[in-house]
C-alpha cells in the first residue's frame, strides 16, 4: 500500500526566509508525487507534480521540489517566503498501478511571521 | 467558471438527519473522486467513479454513505442518519484518465463542510 509521511506538523518561518517541507513516501513502484496547498476553508490547489524525468520540478508561486528515490523523499522548497504562503501543505502519492488514486500525508501548517 | 463545483459549501444538521452533497466536475473529466478531511488531517479517499461506474469504495464508507454519478457527469454523496463523527469537510475532485499520458492530477473543489450537532 502507498503511504505518505510529513514529519513536520507545524513550521513557523519569517517572511523572506527560506522554507523546506519534508515528505517521505512508501511505495514499491515508481510513484507519481504531488504537493498541494490549502488555505483555510478552501479546497486544494496543485503546486507541482513529478512523474518522471528531471528530479527537480518547478511549480507555481515560486515553489520547487526534488525527488530523491534513494531517500524516498519529495521535499518542497521556496527560497523566500511571502506572508501569503501561510497555509497548509499536503504531499500526495499516486501510481498508475493503483489506478491513480492519491494518498495524502497529514499536512504541514506553515505560519509566516513578519 | 470551469473548475470543480461543490454544493452546499456548508451544512449544519442535527444528528440522525440525512444530508446530500453535490459535485459538478470539470466537464471533460471522466474520473470523479470523493475524499473526506477532518481537522488537522489530510484528505482520506472515500470512493471514485469512472464515468458512471463506481470503481471502489473505501472501508471508511459505511453503509450509511452512498454515492452516485448517474449520467457520468455530476455526483451526489448522501449520508443517512448522520452522526457527530461524520462532521468533516467532504472534498470532490475530478481528473481525466485515458490512453494518452496520464498525470493522475486531481482538480479539487472547495469542499462541503458538514457539521453534525
What are B39-85's pLDDT values in tens digits? 889 999 999 999 999 999 998 889 999 999 998 899 999 999 999 99
Phi, psi (5° rounding) for residue B92? -110, 145
- How far is Cα B101 from Cα B99, in angstroms, rounded to an integer? 7
**pLDDT confidence of residue A40:** 84
- C-alpha cell belonging to residue A65: 521540489
A36 touches chain B (CB under 8 A): yes
List residues of chain B with CB under 8 Å from any CB of chain A.
Answer: 4, 6, 31, 33, 35, 40-45, 48, 55-56, 91, 93, 95, 97, 102-111, 113
Residue B71 confidence (pLDDT):
87
Please give the pLDDT value at position B52: 93
Burial category of B111 from C-beta neighbours within 10 Å (exposed 0-12, middle 13-18, buried 19 and up) = buried
Task: Give the span between the Cα atoms of A79 and A75, in whole angstroms.
Answer: 13
> Is the Cβ pair A107, B95 closer than 8 Å?
no
Hey, are the CB atoms on A42 and B44 less than 8 Å from each other?
Answer: no
Position B1 pLDDT exceeds 60: no
- How many Å from the N-terminal Cα to the C-terminal Cα in chain A? 41
Q: Give the pLDDT mean for A48-67.
A: 93
User: Is a pLDDT exceeding 60 seen at residue B101?
Assistant: no
- Residues from chain B that touch A99, judged by Cβ atoms under 8 A, are 55-56
- Tell me if B42 and A32 make a contact (CB, 8 A cut-off): no
Amino acid at each position: 500500500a502507498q503511504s505518505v509521511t510529513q514529519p513536520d506538523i507545524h513550521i513557523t518561518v519569517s517572511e523572506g526566509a527560506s522554507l523546506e517541507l519534508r515528505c517521505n513516501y512508501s511505495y514499491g513502484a515508481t510513484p507519481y508525487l504531488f504537493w498541494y496547498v490549502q488555505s483555510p476553508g478552501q479546497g486544494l490547489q496543485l503546486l507541482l507534480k513529478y512523474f518522471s524525468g528531471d528530479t527537480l520540478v518547478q511549480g507555481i508561486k515560486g515553489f520547487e521540489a526534488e525527488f530523491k528515490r534513494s531517500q524516498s523523499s519529495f521535499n518542497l522548497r521556496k527560497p523566500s517566503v511571502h506572508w501569503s504562503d501561510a497555509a497548509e501543505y499536503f504531499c500526495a502519492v499516486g501510481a498508475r498501478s493503483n489506478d491513480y488514486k492519491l494518498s495524502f500525508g497529514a499536512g504541514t501548517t506553515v505560519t509566516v511571521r513578519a | 467558471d470551469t473548475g470543480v463545483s461543490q454544493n452546499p459549501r456548508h451544512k449544519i444538521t442535527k444528528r440522525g438527519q440525512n444530508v446530500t452533497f453535490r459535485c459538478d466536475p470539470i466537464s471533460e473529466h471522466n474520473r470523479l473522486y470523493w475524499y473526506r478531511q477532518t481537522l488537522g488531517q489530510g484528505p482520506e479517499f472515500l470512493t471514485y467513479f469512472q464515468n458512471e461506474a463506481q470503481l471502489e469504495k473505501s472501508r471508511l464508507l459505511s453503509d450509511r454513505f452512498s454515492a452516485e454519478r448517474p449520467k457520468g457527469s455530476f455526483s451526489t454523496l448522501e449520508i443517512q442518519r448522520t452522526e457527530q463523527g461524520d462532521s468533516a469537510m467532504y472534498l470532490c475532485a475530478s481528473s481525466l484518465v485515458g490512453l494518452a499520458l496520464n498525470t493522475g492530477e486531481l482538480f479539487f473543489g472547495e469542499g462541503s463542510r458538514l457539521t453534525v450537532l
